[in-house]
Amino acid sequence: MKKITIALGVLIVLATVWEIVKYNKNNPLESINQASSYLSNAKSRNASKYSAELYAKASEYFDSSILIWHEENKKFFFFRKYDKVKMYAENSLFYSKESIIKSTENVSKLNNDINYRISKISLQLVELKKYNNHFPFNEKRTHDLTRSDLKFNELIILYKQSKFLLVSEKLDTIETDLALIEAHFQYLIEDYFKDYSKWKSMVDKTIFESKKNSSYCIIVDKFHRECLVYRSGLLQNIYKAELGSNWIGDKNFQGDKSTPEGIYKIITKKSEGSTKYYKALLINYPNEDDKKRFLHLKKNGIIKPTANIGNLIEIHGHGGKGIDWTDGCVALHNDDMDELYRISKTGMKVTIVGSAKPLKSINVI
């Protein structure tokens, strides 16, 4: 009996030792720690943003492993089973690794996409600001362009902070705004050039008479800010010109700061000392067409009944400021004015048009 009791005791001890060995062998702590480490690594790499689905699975499996582990630890160690704990921890580890790989790939792709979009928008802003300086938008679109420029500068700061998803969202907004500004500019340009056939007819007529009479003539191209000199129908010189500060469209009344459009002639040459603008060529604005148009605008209430038609439109010196600044005259650099003044005489044709070239030949959006 005693021997049996001793044998049972030995068996119990051996069984206990075996269970302890099994417990230590199946202890999930190493798996949990490894899963936890990779999950933290994934989080630090923003996998929750750039590989959200895989990261969510890794987190879910890890939480489940921890929950079951706590439940099993409440039991007496003989009855603890950690198979599920280890399985969930291993699944969490797998999805954490996958989310890190996917996140790295997505960040790289997003970064490349953002770089491309930033470069494109940067060029768009440069072009649109150039167009706005050359052919002013309305007040709202100019404000929108300034605001887009500010947003873009803020976006660059966020990009340097590696906030790529936020940068991508802000790029969407800026791209939409710039698309609207471009559409507005396209509309303005097409509307401006609707009179091109009339301008071409005036230019062709003036050059034809120059050729026929072996004479000089002047063509002022408002859109390109150019003063072109022809002799016997052949182009001789091109001078940079500056216009009225409200140059788009024809001149309607005195004080509107618009440069008129039409076929004119020089009626007075003003030498240095007889004008405050170095030298000047006074043209016969308003001509008969201008007067008829002015009366029509008044009759239809487009301009005030008290408005005057204006006069004293000249090609004069003191240009070269780089902006449109006159009250409606055409300003040239003094050196260019010297050349033009020398070949000019009273009666010489001066034709002013919105553009001497068609829209299709102009590099716009």
Based on the fold, state whether residues 177 and 212 are members of the same structural domain.
no
Contact between 259 and 250 under an 8 Å Cβ cutoff? The reply is no
Rounded to a whole number of angstroms, the CA Rg of the chain reads 40
Given 79, 106, 133, the domain boundary residue is 106
The CATH number given to whatever domain includes residue 265 is 2.40.440.10
DSSP 251-305: --STTS-PPP-EEEEEEEEE-TTSSTTSSEEEE--S-HHHHHHHHHHHHTTSS-T
Domain hosting 269: range is 195-361
The domain boundary, picked from 193, 208, 233, lies at: 193
- What's the angle, vertex CA 298, arms to CA 265 and CA 310, rounded to 5? 35
Q: Structure tokens of 44?
A: 């630090």
Task: For residues 283 and 85, give the distance between their C-alpha atoms in angstroms, rounded to a whole number.
Answer: 96
User: Can you tell me the distance from the alpha carbon of 148 to that of 142, in angstroms, rounded to the nearest whole number?
Assistant: 10
Q: What is the pLDDT along the chain (365 residues), one digit of tens a residue?
A: 655 655 555 455 444 444 444 444 468 999 999 999 999 999 998 899 899 999 999 999 999 999 999 998 888 877 888 999 999 999 999 999 999 999 999 889 999 999 999 999 999 999 999 988 888 888 888 999 999 999 999 999 999 998 999 999 999 999 999 999 999 999 999 999 999 999 999 999 999 999 999 999 999 999 999 999 999 999 999 999 999 999 998 999 999 999 999 999 999 999 998 999 999 999 999 999 999 999 999 999 999 989 999 999 999 999 999 999 999 999 999 999 999 999 999 999 999 999 999 998 877 65
**Of the residues 87, 106, 125, the one at which a domain ends:** 106
| Number of domains forming the structure of the chain | 3
CB atoms within 10 A of CB 338: 14
Same domain, 89 and 120: no
| One domain, residues 75 and 134 | no
226 plus 183 within the same structural domain: no
